[in-house]
């Protein structure tokens, strides 16, 4: 159901890879709600994914950009404002990658140049994106910037590896930059801490299927899907959440506030 929540609003969506990705679902929802946007992803991700189909479906243009490159980001921001005809109202940062996870290196045996690369892509890129927007004065007052995160930033999940550290850094950047963006430009910055979601990135984590089942049993409302997350992101892009900033918002069916669920007790009681 569409409510025209983003009518006339313009923005940039990072990280749409395929129809499983949260950024993809968000782009579809933003389009349904009347928003227009530029899609962007790293050149290598664009070759792997199906972003052209999404651009066609939503009437959007694609600008390839490496989110770790200040030059690429400057170009992306200026081109986006040109294409969209003015300053931006929303930005979604949906980027995460760990070389250690991808290559099966345990957390206690990290290869540090891989760690640095993952941190740069997953966390520092958020600072670079915001610094680029801030310096270009690219955001309209009451604009909204959202990044996707995960609860491994606060609690330990053994196989989440160095991505947990990346997410903790990402959430800190949202608070720190959110202060200056709010104070000086009336722009809000938040992170959404989403349920484990079967995206291409999520499925790279070892034991993911078992974990998603566990989270489903632990959450009173069940896991939040990528579609649910898209809806929540739209609410944060809209004018209905103007005073929400510098928050890490748990969107996980209640998982983060549940100590133990009846299903888990029953599962272990039987054994």
d(CA 232, CA 244) in angstroms, rounded, equals 13
Residue 21 is assigned to a ligand binding site: yes
Strand order in the sheet with 248-251: 61-62, 36-40, 10-14, 88-93, 139-149, 188-194, 248-251
d(CA 247, CA 82) in angstroms, rounded, equals 31
Residue 167 is assigned to a ligand binding site: yes
Calculate the CA dihedral of residues 126, 132, 137, 138 and round it to 10 degrees: -70
Residue 22 is assigned to a ligand binding site: yes
**Sequential DSSP letters for 219-233:** -TT-PPPHHHHHHHH
Residue 103 is assigned to a ligand binding site: no
**Residue 112 annotated as catalytic:** no
Residue 95 is assigned to a ligand binding site: yes
d(CA 43, CA 22) in angstroms, rounded, equals 19
d(CA 193, CA 153) in angstroms, rounded, equals 9
Catalytic residue among 107, 150, 169, 179: 150
In contact, 246 and 183? CB cutoff 8 Å: no
Catalytic residue among 112, 160, 214, 232: 160
**Residue 107 annotated as catalytic:** no
Q: Which residues are annotated as a binding site?
A: 15, 21-22, 95, 167
Q: Which residues are annotated as a binding site for NAD(+)?
A: 15, 21-22, 95, 167
Q: Which residues are catalytic?
A: 150, 160
């Amino acid at each position: 159901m569409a409510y025209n929540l983003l009518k006339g609003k313009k923005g940039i969506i990072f990280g749409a890879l395929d129809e499983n990705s949260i950024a993809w679902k968000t782009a579809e929802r933003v389009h349904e709600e009347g928003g227009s946007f530029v899609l962007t992803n790293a050149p290598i991700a664009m070759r792997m994914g199906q972003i052209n189909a999404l651009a066609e479906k939503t009437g959007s243009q694609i600008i390839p950009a490496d989110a770790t490159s200040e030059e690429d980001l400057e170009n992306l921001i200026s081109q986006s404002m040109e294409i969209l005809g003015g300053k931006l109202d929303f930005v979604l940062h949906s980027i995460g990658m760990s070389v250690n996870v991808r290559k099966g290196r345990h957390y206690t045996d990290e290869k540090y140049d891989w760690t640095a690369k993952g941190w740069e892509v997953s966390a520092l890129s958020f600072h670079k994106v915001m610094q680029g927007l801030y310096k270009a004065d690219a955001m309209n007052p009451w604009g909204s910037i959202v990044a996707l995160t995960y609860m491994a930033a606060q609690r330990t999940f053994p196989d989440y590896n160095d991505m947990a550290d990346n997410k903790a850094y990402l959430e800190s950047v949202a608070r720190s930059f959110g202060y200056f963006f709010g104070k000086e430009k009336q722009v809000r910055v938040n992170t959404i801490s989403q349920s484990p979601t079967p995206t291409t990135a999520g499925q790279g984590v070892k034991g993911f299927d078992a974990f998603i089942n566990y989270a489903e049993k632990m959450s009173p409302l069940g896991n939040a899907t990528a579609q649910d997350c898209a809806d929540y992101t739209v609410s944060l892009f809209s004018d209905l959440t103007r005073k929400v900033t510098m928050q890490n918002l748990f969107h996980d069916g209640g998982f983060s506030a549940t100590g133990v669920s009846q299903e888990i007790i029953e599962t272990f009681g039987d054994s």
